[in-house]
Amino acid sequence: MIKSRTRRRLLIAAGLVGGAFVVGGYFFYRPRDRLRLPEGLASPKGASWLTAWLRIDAGGGVTVAVPRQEMGQGVTTALPMLVAEELDCDPASLRFEQAPVDPVYANATLMADGVPFRPDDHSWLARLARVSQYKVGELLGVQATGGSTSVRDAWEVMRRAGAAARAMLVGAAAARWGVAPGECRTELGTVRFGDRSLRYAELVAEAARQPIPGDPALKNPAQYRVIGSALPRLDVPAKTDGSAQFGIDVRVPGLRYAALAQCPVFGGSLKRADADKAKAMPGVQAVIELEATSTSAAAVAVVADRWWRAKDALKALQIEWHDGPNAKLDSAAQRKLYADLLDGDEARTYESVGNAPLELAAAKQVVQARYEVPYLAHATMEPINCTALVKDGYCDIWVGSQSPTLVKWLAAGPAGVQRDRVRVHTPFLGGGFGRRAEMDVVVQAAAIARQVMWAPVQLIWSREEDIQHDVYRPMAMASFRCALDAQGGIRAWHNRVVGQSCTGDFTARLQPAAASDLMKDKTTAEGAFDLPYAMPHRLVEHVLVHQPVPVGFWRSVGHSYNAFFVEAFLDEVAHAARRDPYEFRRALLAQAPRHLRVLDAAAQKAGWGSSLPPRTGRGIALAESFHSIVAQVAEVEVGADNALRVKRVVCAIDCGRAVNPGIVERQMESGIVFGLSAALYGEITLKGGRVEQSNFPDYDVVRMAACPAIETHIVESGWAHLGGVGEPGTPPVAPAVANAVFAATGQRLRKLPLRLA
């Protein structure tokens, strides 16, 4: 214990020294001006960019450069709304483009969120760590979409951009009229002075010559007209009539298609493939062997004039693989290892308050239980794909990616060109959920394109390749011990979790030299070490384990399993204390008013306590993630055949304030259905080093008939508490359903997916 605490302090100290250098460096280099115009922004005729973030077109349209990728979460609407508010333009004039790759569009919030401190920790240490990481993010300049950070990261800069552009337009009008800018006002895309007026489109050329003001005045939130409205999404029409372009829809002249087979055993390699037979098949143009890299598995690809021909030809290759060192890996052995590690001596402390071990040893009654979840695939609807062209020393990449900056960095090597000669084109993502933060398909497509010089190649993974070569949500196991106090509250809490590190694995894939176990990965224990409940003695630990199965970010990451563990176990503790699970949580949240309000809202709207038909139960769960607080009540009916039917989910969220309440509501629905698929069906298992599942028939997800009615209620707590919405809907649903199953049947399910005996 003492040893690990000392080590923790050393690590923090080391981090701070690093941070101090970065902060020093930041002031030395001067802050990046996040409004400056990046090079190479294209302008149609008569249009001009006012800052990096918006352009006013000749017809009066306002085109916003959206720095995050649209994967369903609504960023191409929510972020333009921030600009429109301060620009004072008609929301009907809004258009969007995905921003090009440039450090000005970096996501620094994502880095700052990664530090292993509780979100409510505002100590100088936590603040310094966050500021340092934020600056690292700015210096690295990585555009990344994830961690439910898009609105939070854009909140300052994109409102500021709108305000700066407005000031430039006013300045241009004032100069033309020879009046003081302060005497002009704006109104829905028009500058006015007395009875004179000029539309923004008439002023844009002159406005573009005005200096960009560094610190334009921002509106008082009470004046908001666009922010806070349920503006319809700008991308919905194109996504209804089939015209929306995803990565897989990219069509460039001379396009060829590639299909591939990857070594089914993790870490294996190619033994032999019969290229001649495949090459003799119609349309086949090349067979390309791809060696394993830190980023991608060993594979053989076929390039043909049609994708289905390339895929057919894979069979003719009659590939043989070297299984490598992991041929014996299977789920049963992993479960045994994890269970042993739960009982072992090695663990990293994520939170230690009071003396939980001592209190538990002295307690008369200790509630204890073990929980577990399996690996999960992402199964984005759009199969993994990437289009690449290597020509004239340049590499063009078309890919739906959560990080176009990483695409630029990672494609250069395999394409054999300089980084600054990689051009990244970013269409819509047909689902991301963390999967499209990975660079495997980019590296493969670039390597293939390098060999098929002069012709663009679209590499598409089959669904089977996707399910069997994902980076998985980690399998995890947890143990809990809890002692109650005399009043029926919690006196001591000890929670230990075993699993792999997503951040560690991700780093090892992208930059093996930078991978290290020294830094604690916050994601492994998030949702376990940062609980809002009153627990005077608590110890939360994580045991890091390395496995050959690649793991990665999966919608809500560590929260996706820790919320299930914590909230289902808390239900057990409530029952052990002979308390209603909702009232029990209420008592533990006396010092957490925001959490309490959200919990109350969900319980009241769900009719908590009212009677239900037989074999039907209600379960409640609460989880804070990505700076938002979400509570859900699930109503579950258990059929005569023990089938679970989730009839209704009532959801309450406090994300501070909603920039677009319509989008928040739909993200809650989305997160709930995603989490429900994992709660009811999701399971990736291993045998002989291979994933046993391969496609939707054996990796099923919620469909219409299994989808509950969902109600969302937004609890407002102010703009100062802005939180994310893409992920926070997911964590509470599995425990809410598990707790409802207990209420309906008296059976406590401690393993996902939920199956009644």
Partner 1 sequence: MPKLNVNGAERDVGLEESAPLLWALREDLGLTGTKFGCGVAACGACTVLVDGKPTRTCVTPLAAVAGKTIHTIEGASARAPWPAVHEAWIAEQVPQCGYCQSGMVMAAIALLERNPAPSDADIDSAITNICRCGTYPRIRKAIHRAAEALAKGPR
Does the footprint of partner 1 cover residue 432 (CB under 8 A)? yes
Does the footprint of partner 1 cover residue 242 (CB under 8 A)? yes
Q: Collect all residues with Cβ–Cβ distance below 8 Å to 472 and sequence separation of at least 6.
A: 375, 376, 377, 549, 550, 551, 552, 554, 684
Q: Tell me which of 489, 671, 689, 735 binds partner 1, using CB under 8 A.
A: 671
Shortest separation between residue 722's beta carbon and partner 1, angstroms: 21
Torsion of CA 45, 50, 52, 56, to 10 degrees: -50
Q: Which two tokens stand for residue 652?
A: 């309450």
Shortest separation between residue 167's beta carbon and partner 1, angstroms: 33
Strand arrangement of the beta sheet that strand 628-638 belongs to: 616-625, 628-638, 644-654, 709-714
Does the footprint of partner 1 cover residue 235 (CB under 8 A)? yes
Does the footprint of partner 1 cover residue 380 (CB under 8 A)? yes
Shortest separation between residue 354's beta carbon and partner 1, angstroms: 41
Does the footprint of partner 1 cover residue 379 (CB under 8 A)? yes
Q: Which two tokens stand for residue 369?
A: 């239980």
Does the footprint of partner 1 cover residue 251 (CB under 8 A)? yes
Q: Report how far residue 246's alpha carbon sits from residue 382's, in angstroms, rounded to the nearest whole number.
A: 8
Does the footprint of partner 1 cover residue 296 (CB under 8 A)? no
- Where does this chain touch partner 1 (CB under 8 A) — which range of 45-53, 381-389, 445-453, 470-478? 381-389
User: Would you call 223 exposed, middle or buried from its count of C-beta atoms within 10 A (0-12, 13-18, 19+)?
Assistant: exposed
Q: Which is nearer to partner 1, 210 or 380 (CB)?
A: 380
Q: Report how far residue 151's alpha carbon sits from residue 156's, in angstroms, rounded to the nearest whole number.
A: 9
| Cis preceding linkage at 753, omega within 30 | yes
**Which positions from 443 through 472 interact with partner 1, judged by CB under 8 A?**
460, 462-464
Does the footprint of partner 1 cover residue 433 (CB under 8 A)? yes
Q: Tell me which of 35, 50, 66, 71 binds partner 1, using CB under 8 A.
A: 71
User: Would you call 430 exposed, middle or buried from its count of C-beta atoms within 10 A (0-12, 13-18, 19+)?
Assistant: buried
CA 402 from chain centre, in angstroms, equals 9
Does the footprint of partner 1 cover residue 209 (CB under 8 A)? no
Does the footprint of partner 1 cover residue 253 (CB under 8 A)? no
Does the footprint of partner 1 cover residue 228 (CB under 8 A)? no
- Looking at the DSSP bridge assignments, the partners of residue 450 are none
Q: Tell me which of 232, 325, 609, 718 binds partner 1, using CB under 8 A.
A: 232
Q: Tell me which of 73, 98, 149, 352 binds partner 1, using CB under 8 A.
A: 73
Q: Which is nearer to partner 1, 129 or 679 (CB)?
A: 679
Q: Which two tokens stand for residue 475?
A: 């399998």
Does the footprint of partner 1 cover residue 245 (CB under 8 A)? yes
**One-letter amino acid for residue 166 of the chain:** R
- Where does this chain touch partner 1 (CB under 8 A) — which range of 171-179, 241-249, 408-416, 520-528? 241-249
- Where does this chain touch partner 1 (CB under 8 A) — which range of 82-90, 100-108, 190-198, 667-675? 667-675
Q: Collect all residues with Cβ–Cβ distance below 8 Å to 363 and sequence separation of at least 6.
A: 483, 484, 491, 492
Does the footprint of partner 1 cover residue 696 (CB under 8 A)? yes
Q: Report how far residue 58's alpha carbon sits from residue 443's, in angstroms, rounded to the nearest whole number.
A: 40
Report the phi/psi class of residue 61: left, alpha or beta, with left for phi > 0 and alpha for psi in -120 to 50. Answer: beta
Q: Tell me which of 236, 332, 353, 643 binds partner 1, using CB under 8 A.
A: 236
CA-based nearest residue to 247, from 400, 97, 99: 400
**Which positions from 464 through 523 interact with partner 1, judged by CB under 8 A?**
464
Find the distance separating the first CA and the last CA of the chain, reported in whole Å.
Answer: 39
Q: Tell me which of 80, 383, 723, 728 binds partner 1, using CB under 8 A.
A: 383
Q: Binding residues for partner 1, per CB under 8 A?
A: 70-74, 232-233, 235-246, 248-249, 251, 257, 306-308, 379-383, 428-433, 460, 462-464, 662, 666, 669-674, 677, 695-697, 701-705, 707, 709-710
